[in-house]
């Protein structure tokens, strides 16, 4: 979620990452510079099974969406990143697509081909992921 005037600090929710406009960037394009917009993200915990991730996102974010919009968010989207070695197939049921649509957000899906070792490293890294708040 993001917006020029979005202040995630005003939302009663613990995002995985967040920053208000003016916060000094720590990476990428705005590293060391004031961020010209506010943004927040939420990463599904690794303990949530793959088959339940869409439902989890919707059940977690939907109740706070009015507060997110009231805090100035003008854009939001669900982004799925899939890192794979041997094969990449994803299927979303009609129910999952309807859940995504309920949020009124965009949807992005990216698939990345990696080596078998990289896939194993990413799995280990994800299993020990600790949110930055």
pLDDT digits (tens, 9 = 90+) for 106-117: 888 888 888 888
Instruction: Give yes or no for a contact between 12 and 67, defined as CB atoms under 8 angstroms apart.
Output: yes
Residues 6+ apart with CB under 8 A from 71: 6, 7, 8, 10, 11, 38
The radius of gyration computed from the CA coordinates of the chain, to the nearest angstrom, equals 16
Domain ranges of the chain: 2-127
Q: Which of 112, 116, 109 is nearest to 90 (CA)?
A: 109
Confidence of residue 132 (pLDDT cuts 50, 70, 90): very low
Is 23 in a helix, a strand, or coil?
A: coil
44-46-48-54 Cα dihedral, nearest 10 degrees: 40
pLDDT digits (tens, 9 = 90+) for 78-104: 888 777 777 777 888 999 999 999 999
CA distance 69 to 1: 9
- pTM confidence score: 0.77
Residue with tokens 């794979």: 84
Residue 60: per-residue pLDDT: 95
pLDDT digits (tens, 9 = 90+) for 51-71: 898 999 999 999 999 999 999
């Amino acid at each position: 979620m993001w917006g020029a005037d979005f202040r995630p600090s005003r939302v009663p929710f613990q995002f995985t990452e967040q920053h208000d406009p003016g916060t000094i960037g720590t990476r990428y394009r705005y590293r060391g510079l004031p961020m010209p917009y506010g943004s927040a993200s939420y990463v599904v915990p690794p303990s949530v099974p793959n088959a339940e991730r869409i439902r989890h996102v919707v059940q977690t974010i939907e109740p706070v969406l009015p507060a997110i919009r009231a805090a100035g968010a003008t854009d939001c989207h669900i982004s799925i990143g899939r890192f794979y070695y041997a094969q990449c197939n994803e299927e979303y049921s009609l129910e999952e697509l309807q859940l995504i649509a309920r949020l009124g957000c965009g949807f992005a899906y990216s698939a990345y081909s990696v080596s078998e070792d990289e896939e194993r490293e990413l799995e280990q890294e994800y299993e020990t992921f600790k949110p930055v708040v």
